[in-house]
Amino acid sequence: MGRTLTFEIFRYNPTADDDRPRIDIFQLEETARLNIFTALNLIREQQAPDFMFDFVCRAGICGSCGMMINGRPTLACRTLTSDLPNTITLYPLPFFKLLGDLSVDTGVWFREVAEQIESWIHTQTEFDPQAEEERMDNATANKIYEAERCIECGCCLAGCATAQVAPDFLGAAGLNRIGRLMIDPRDQRDEEDWFKLISTDSGIFGCIGMMACDDVCPKDLPLLEVFAYIRRKMAAIGFSKKKEKAAAV
Amino acid sequence: MSNIITTDVLVIGAGLAGERAAIASASEGLDVIILSLVPPRRSHSSAAQGGMQASLGNSVKGKGDNTTIHWLDTVKGSDWGADQEVARIFADNAPIAMREMAHFGVPWNRVEGGPREVYIKGKKTTIVEDYDKEGLIAARDFGGTAKWRTCYTADGTGHTVLYTMDNMVVQLGITVHDRMEALRLIHKDGKCVGAVVRSLRDGEILAYMSKTTVIATGGYGRIYGESTNAVINEGTGSWLALQTGVVPLANMEAVQFHPTGIVPTDILVTEGCRGDGGLLLDVDEYRFMPDYEPEKQELASRDVVSRRMKEHMLKGKGVQSPYGEHLWLDLRHLGETHLKTKLREVYDICMYFIGVNPIKDFVPVRPTQHYSMGGIRVNKDGHTYNMEGLFALGEVSCWDMHGFNRLGGNSLAETVVAGMVVGKQIAEHAKKTALVADVSLAEQFVQKEKKKIGHLLNSVDGENVYELRDEISNLLKTHVHIFRTGEGLEKATTGLQNLVKRVENVKVRSKAPGMNPELSFALRIEGMAKQALLIAQGALNRKESRGAHSREDYPARDDTKWLNRTLARWPDSHGEPLFEYEPVGVLDLPPGDRGYGGGQQISMEITVEEYNSRVDEEQKAKGRLDPVEPTGTRLPKEAWKEVL
């Protein structure tokens, strides 16, 4: 027999003068293969027409529906209720600005990070429409793709202890983006540029190594490896700078 | 007084087409604002998996490919419904666009020299890639093509290209206002000067005024309910055009059903599954496609494969399930490594959403609404009919390189190619246009929308908007699907005519300030109902079968009567739609057999020359603005003879 699920959901509409944060409780009959995407739409259509949340692709690809499901940041669209107990609590992702109920403003935050780390390929080469493309080793292309798979859902930041106390921390998503650019031979930034950008407390040295990001990443990005790579690289540059300084003295 | 924001170019939609067009204008020093329902990287372009067609010819199975062969495949794929000149502009520019995206940073899969094992037509085969092509952009096989020419990054092509494109948008400092929905275009005397916009953050209604306005909002798949499309694809952009009363939507009856939506959930698994060797099986685990399509097998064009699947299920060979009938997609032989690298998204989708491990199990699939070939009619520069200063590109438009069926990999490529080509025309238009900051005109349009919203919020009695949505989608699903009959289409048309009236009487229960999701949806429902009617009525009118439009009562493609494009306008908001027809464009490849699909044809009674002689004048009479270069200039004469 199907279960009756109880949803305990954080509700708050910041645009309503008289609204206060609260928990609303909804009940829903579980059907086969019910996921949180379908469940929330049913709740909105049948019980709470003003209920705010975000879905776009509903296929685990676009990164819109990150939320706290029973205390864990993850993608709601691909979370099946059958993997959860009878009571399901839903909160918006922490760290990001709350827009209403379960909807948070990841877009503006990621745009600011993209500006800060200049997340485009830095090159002096002009595009020549008549020329053959510059060649690239396929292994390199695959490696870049692996890091490029981040969907900027924000789950890593919601799960990150540093981010909760240091709002300017780039987080795993920001650092992964830098790692992706560092391994791209088309990006002509040199070690000095990278060092300036991320050898800071808001960059790689802000991370205190608890690695919740790696645990919660819905795309299974190899964040441990990415962090290790960047740290090693930054440490090496740091040491050589120190040596240069000592030699100069 | 409402808030008014001015800019040179206003782009509505931040998917690949909109962003590439915005880049074209920003690169020329113009001010650009992009509006988007969602953060740009969440746009539906990000969900495209398989790849982009371009005849680079680097892979050994693409050897000898060129833009003419790509163009021919596209025209045949369209069942001759395409504008052949536009298909040519597309095919000629696709290789440049792929290389440009490589330059911008897309990690395209690259050729590795030497032997490798692949599956072709169900058989394991060894192919040897050229060492001298090593490191150039590689390609995989897709349906309806003579060569392997689909460029890709695993099965996350849309994602990587969109992220790369959005990085360019950031680099150029282009302003993006996300969570904004355009409700109505501001226009006067056939000239578009901006849009009335509602903020999905706080509900504010404001006006954007621009020299040039661009619609790039994608398709309307959600009107069908069961669709591979993202939930934001509700036809909001094409509705903007339809509301003007003068801009026609074209070929709305041309709807693509993708062979492999998974069951349940309707999420897409890419055509790359079959391109890489995946097979379609029936209830007896029998591979049926070679019986229907001996030459192309699983890789005929999408309209044909979907039709064959449906046909086979009607013979009782489908698999019964609690979620309806389906067939199987067998990927097991491709092996774990392939499924966890080149088809990794597919693997994840199957595992997470339906609990199927494609390494070991069959994937349940059925044809599912996927793409709209039709849309806002534009000339070859992307300029809409009857409305100066309004452009459209990407899926929302009917530029018309796809006709009645588009090939897999051609629409994702279209976004960046049209972004380049149409983007250039948008920039040119903005450069030679003065900003008309007609504040009172803007205020007039803003007040109309405010009144409408006030009316909805004050409704005490009326219909439930979600129930209306379901009634609309049920009519389309039942009667305007893969196979269509006059009787079914009559029912759909009558039902939708009724629904068009009923959507005027919606009750919004939620009075919450701010985004108010129910109000947001109520503001879209009229557009959904009216576009559904255009789809059904367009299909009822078109008494032939062409591409994805398949009439059981008119099984032949009729080039005497129907080698034309449907144009539908809604001149008076309370009246009925007006249907007109125009020639598809100048022909070079004469209508003939596609080489797959087994359809019958009624040949043209006039010569190609006679047909071509009427094109320019007749299109002009329907409101087509003069393109910068005369009609036909980009279509080389008898190019097809070089290859056929």
| CB–CB contact A59 B268 (8 Å) | yes
Closest in A15, A64, A129 to B38, CB measured:
A64
pLDDT of residue B436: 86
From the list B140, B258, B377, B594, the catalytic residue is B258
Buried b (16+ CB within 10 A) or exposed e, B535-565: bbbbbbebebbbbbbbbeebeebbbeebbbb
pLDDT of residue B517: 98
Distances (CA, A) of B412 to B86, B346, B605, B613: 16, 18, 36, 33
Alpha-carbon distance A165 to nearest alpha carbon in chain B (angstroms)? 25
Nearest-Cα residue of chain B relative to residue A183: B107
Distance CA B68, CA B46 (A): 29
| CB–CB contact B510 A50 (8 Å) | yes
Give the pLDDT band (50/70/90) at residue A241: confident
Give the pLDDT band (50/70/90) at residue A2: confident
Question: B521 Cβ partners below 8 Å, 6+ apart?
Answer: B465, B466, B469
pLDDT of residue B572: 82
Distance CA B187, CA B184 (A): 9
pLDDT of residue B117: 95
Tell me which residues of chain B, numbers 203 to 232, contact chain A at a CB-CB cutoff of 8 Å.
Answer: 203, 230-232
B274 belongs to the catalytic site:
yes
Average pLDDT over residues B594-607: 94
| CB–CB contact A148 B108 (8 Å) | no
Query: Strands B550-551 and B483-484, how do they pair?
Result: parallel
Return the number of CB contacts < 8 Å for A and B. 195
pLDDT at A1 over 70: no
pLDDT at B644 over 80: no
Closest in A107, A127, A136 to B100, CB measured:
A127
Residues in chain B, total: 644
Contacts of B59 in chain A (CB under 8 A): none
Closest in A55, A108, A140 to B231, CB measured:
A55
Give the pLDDT band (50/70/90) at residue B643: confident
* CB-facing half-sphere around the CA of B159: CA atoms within 13 A: 23
Distance CA B496, CA B490 (A): 10
pLDDT of residue B172: 98
pLDDT at B258 over 90: yes
Distance CA B237, CA B390 (A): 12
Nearest-Cα residue of chain B relative to residue A65: B42
Closest CA to B531 of B380, B398, B352: B398
Closest in A15, A49, A57 to B514, CB measured:
A15
Distance CA A111, CA B177 (A): 11
Nearest-Cα residue of chain A relative to residue B512: A50
Average pLDDT over residues B496-502: 97
pLDDT of residue B162: 98
Distances (CA, A) of B263 to B170, B226, B310, B322, B353: 38, 11, 15, 10, 10
Residues A60 and A149: beta-carbon distance below 8 Å: no
Note whether B518 contacts A: Cβ–Cβ < 8 A. Answer: yes
From the list B274, B307, B338, B366, the catalytic residue is B274
Residues B548 and B568: beta-carbon distance below 8 Å: no
Per residue in B328-371, pLDDT (tens digit) is: 999 999 999 999 999 999 999 999 999 999 999 999 999 999 99
Query: Strands B205-215 and B191-199, how do they pair?
Result: antiparallel
| CB–CB contact B110 A136 (8 Å) | yes
- Percentage of chain B with pLDDT > 90? 98
Residues A6 and A27: beta-carbon distance below 8 Å: yes
Buried b (16+ CB within 10 A) or exposed e, A51-85: bbbbbbbbbbbbbbbbbbbeeebbbbbbbbbeebe
pLDDT of residue B575: 87
Radius of gyration of chain B (CA): 23
Domains of chain A: 4-104 (3.10.20.30), 106-123+135-248 (1.10.1060.10)
Buried b (16+ CB within 10 A) or exposed e, A158-170: bbbebbeeeeebb
Buried b (16+ CB within 10 A) or exposed e, B440-469: ebbbebbeebeeebeebeebeebbbbbebb
Burial of B100 (0-12, 13-18, 19+ CB in 10 A): buried
Per residue in B123-164, pLDDT (tens digit) is: 999 999 999 999 999 999 999 999 999 999 999 999 999 999
Alpha-carbon distance B126 to nearest alpha carbon in chain A (angstroms)? 19
| CB–CB contact A61 B110 (8 Å) | no
Radius of gyration of chain A (CA): 22
Tell me which residues of chain B, numbers 331 to 390, contact chain A at a CB-CB cutoff of 8 Å.
Answer: 341, 345, 348-349, 352-355
* CB-facing half-sphere around the CA of B552: CA atoms within 13 A: 14
Per residue in A27-57, pLDDT (tens digit) is: 999 998 999 999 999 999 999 999 999 999 9
Q: Which two tokens stand for residue B288?
A: 């049926």
Distances (CA, A) of A169 to A106, A196, B486, B498: 14, 15, 62, 55
Note whether B553 contacts A: Cβ–Cβ < 8 A. Answer: no
| CB–CB contact A106 B39 (8 Å) | yes
| CB–CB contact A60 B353 (8 Å) | yes
Residues A37 and A77: beta-carbon distance below 8 Å: yes
Q: Which two tokens stand for residue B359?
A: 């390494």
pLDDT at A199 over 60: yes
Sole residue written with tokens 């107990």: A85
Note whether B96 contacts A: Cβ–Cβ < 8 A. Answer: yes
B258 belongs to the catalytic site:
yes
Per residue in B151-209, pLDDT (tens digit) is: 999 999 999 999 999 999 999 999 999 999 999 999 999 999 999 999 999 999 999 99
Distance CA B196, CA B186 (A): 7
pLDDT of residue A177: 97
Per residue in B43-86, pLDDT (tens digit) is: 999 999 999 999 999 999 999 999 999 999 999 999 999 999 99
Sole residue written with tokens 């469940």: A39
Q: Which two tokens stand for residue B502?
A: 């009923």
Alpha-carbon distance B340 to nearest alpha carbon in chain A (angstroms)? 12
Give the pLDDT band (50/70/90) at residue A249: confident
| CB–CB contact B47 A61 (8 Å) | yes
Per residue in B382-436, pLDDT (tens digit) is: 999 999 999 999 999 999 999 999 999 999 999 999 999 999 999 999 999 999 8
| CB–CB contact A152 B41 (8 Å) | yes
Task: Tell me the pLDDT of chain B averaged across its residues.
Answer: 97
| CB–CB contact A56 B231 (8 Å) | yes
Q: Please state, as a whole number, how many other Cβ atoms lie within 10 Å of the Cβ of residue A202.
A: 17
Closest in A52, A106, A131 to B515, CB measured:
A52
Q: Where are the beta strands (DSSP E) in B344-392?
A: 363-372, 375-377, 390-392
Q: Distance of alpha carbon A94 from its chain centroid, rounded?
A: 12
* Residue B124, phi-psi category: left (phi > 0), alpha (psi -120 to 50), beta (remainder): beta
pLDDT of residue A112: 97
Phi and psi (nearest 5°) for B55? -85, 60
Note whether B115 contacts A: Cβ–Cβ < 8 A. Answer: no
Q: Please state, as a whole number, how many other Cβ atoms lie within 10 Å of the Cβ of residue B643.
A: 12
Phi and psi (nearest 5°) for B349? -60, -45
Residues B249 and B377: beta-carbon distance below 8 Å: yes
Give the pLDDT band (50/70/90) at residue A248: confident
Query: Strands A4-11 and A87-91, how do they pair?
Result: parallel
* Residue B439, phi-psi category: left (phi > 0), alpha (psi -120 to 50), beta (remainder): alpha
Alpha-carbon distance A33 to nearest alpha carbon in chain B (angstroms)? 7
Closest in B110, B178, B514 to A141, CB measured:
B110
| CB–CB contact A14 B355 (8 Å) | no
